[in-house]
Amino acid sequence: MSNIANNLQSILSELPSDVTLVAVSKTKPSADIQEAYDAGQRHFGENKVQEMVDKWEALPKDIHWHMIGHVQTNKIKHMAPFVHLIHGCDREKVLKMVNKEAAKNDRTIDVLLQVHIAEESSKFGFDEAELLELIESGRWQEYPNVRIRGLMGMATFTDDKGQITREFNTLKSLFDKISKSFGEAFDTLSMGMSGDYSLAIDAGSNMVRVGSAIFGARNYDA
Ligand SMILES: *Cc1c(COP(=O)(O)O)cnc(C)c1O
């Protein structure tokens, strides 16, 4: 078996069956994705729209493509025909533009609302008050071609496992608190990456986004 297939198998063996593994393939060549695909993997995550479009064109059409990066609203139209789940809806303008482009494609697009949970100030996302306001105002229902499937968050980049767990627990509590407001489709909690996915699962994640532990370290100069 290739390294990629081995890595996938060992990660999958640790995941409960209700947890979806999104293999984060950003910066990696299509050949690596094909290897993971041949090993049975179908969910892949990218953080740049153009790169995802190029890979979508080159690779098998039954791949589920996840946009996990920060969303620039002028790029939404390029992924609207095929994207499976947009994790990074971090402001209302993104919901509005996804709705518009989804309608043009006669689709309903699934999204996650990105929530700011890290103590670091650089991470994007709604805070709890903004989310509650979006619910209480009823405005989230103004986007009929968007289906809000859940929440996504990223913990602080730190070795402090206690802090990471606190941040994941905060997101899980918020998820439980608001899930009824969004109805039955609201079932996905995306949290956990290569370094912290087991902590995320212990805290209640059911979707992990794992890159380097599958494909190896990324080389941004390549
Ligand atoms: C790159 C990235 C990941 C994967 O990171 P790894 O540490 O390589 O597993 C997960 N989520 C987001 C949002 C990312 O940008």
Name which residue sits closest to atom 11 of ligand 1, judged by CA.
209
Mean pLDDT over each residue of the chain, to the nearest integer? 95
- Is 218 a member of any domain? no
Q: What percent of the chain has pLDDT over 90?
A: 92
| Start-to-end CA span in the chain (Å) | 26
> Could you tell which of 47, 87, 154 is best to mutate to test the pocket of ligand 1, judged by most ligand atoms within 8 Å of the CB?
47
- In CATH, what number is assigned to the domain containing residue 11? 3.20.20.10
- In ligand 1, which atom is closest to the CA atom of 87? 13
Q: What is the C-alpha to C-alpha distance for residues 26 and 138, in angstroms, rounded to an integer?
A: 35
Distance 24 CA to ligand 1 centre (A): 6
Biggest alpha carbon distance in the chain?
53
With a CB cutoff of 8 Å and minimum separation 6, the contacts of 149 are 85, 110, 111, 112, 185, 186, 187, 188
> Which domain does 21 fall in, by range?
3-212
- Is 76 a member of any domain? yes
pLDDT in the model for residue 2? 82
Q: What percent of the chain has pLDDT over 70?
A: 97
Name which residue sits closest to atom 4 of ligand 1, judged by CA.
211
- Is 222 a member of any domain? no
pLDDT in the model for residue 122? 64
The confidence band for 222, taking pLDDT boundaries of 50, 70 and 90, is very low
Distance 47 CA to ligand 1 centre (A): 9
Name which residue sits closest to atom 6 of ligand 1, judged by CA.
211
The confidence band for 219, taking pLDDT boundaries of 50, 70 and 90, is confident
Q: The tokens of 23 are what?
A: 């293999």
pLDDT digits (tens, 9 = 90+) for 5-31: 999 999 999 999 999 999 999 999 999
Distance 72 CA to ligand 1 centre (A): 18
pLDDT in the model for residue 221? 58
- In ligand 1, which atom is closest to the CA atom of 209? 10
pLDDT digits (tens, 9 = 90+) for 130-158: 999 999 999 999 999 999 999 999 999 99
- Is 221 a member of any domain? no
Please state the pTM of the whole predicted model.
0.96
Q: How many distinct structural domains can be found in the chain?
A: 1
- Is 217 a member of any domain? no
- Is 204 a member of any domain? yes
Q: The tokens of 29 are what?
A: 């060549």
pLDDT digits (tens, 9 = 90+) for 25-60: 999 999 999 999 999 999 999 999 999 999 999 999
The confidence band for 212, taking pLDDT boundaries of 50, 70 and 90, is very high
Residues with CB under 6 A from ligand 1: 24, 26, 47, 68-69, 154, 193-195, 209-213
The confidence band for 123, taking pLDDT boundaries of 50, 70 and 90, is low
pLDDT in the model for residue 124? 84
- In ligand 1, which atom is closest to the CA atom of 22? 10
Contact between 98 and 110 under an 8 Å Cβ cutoff? The reply is: no
Q: What is the C-alpha to C-alpha distance for residues 88 and 150, in angstroms, rounded to an integer?
A: 11
- Is 220 a member of any domain? no
- Is 98 a member of any domain? yes
In sign, the C-alpha dihedral spanning 177, 119, 188, 98 is positive
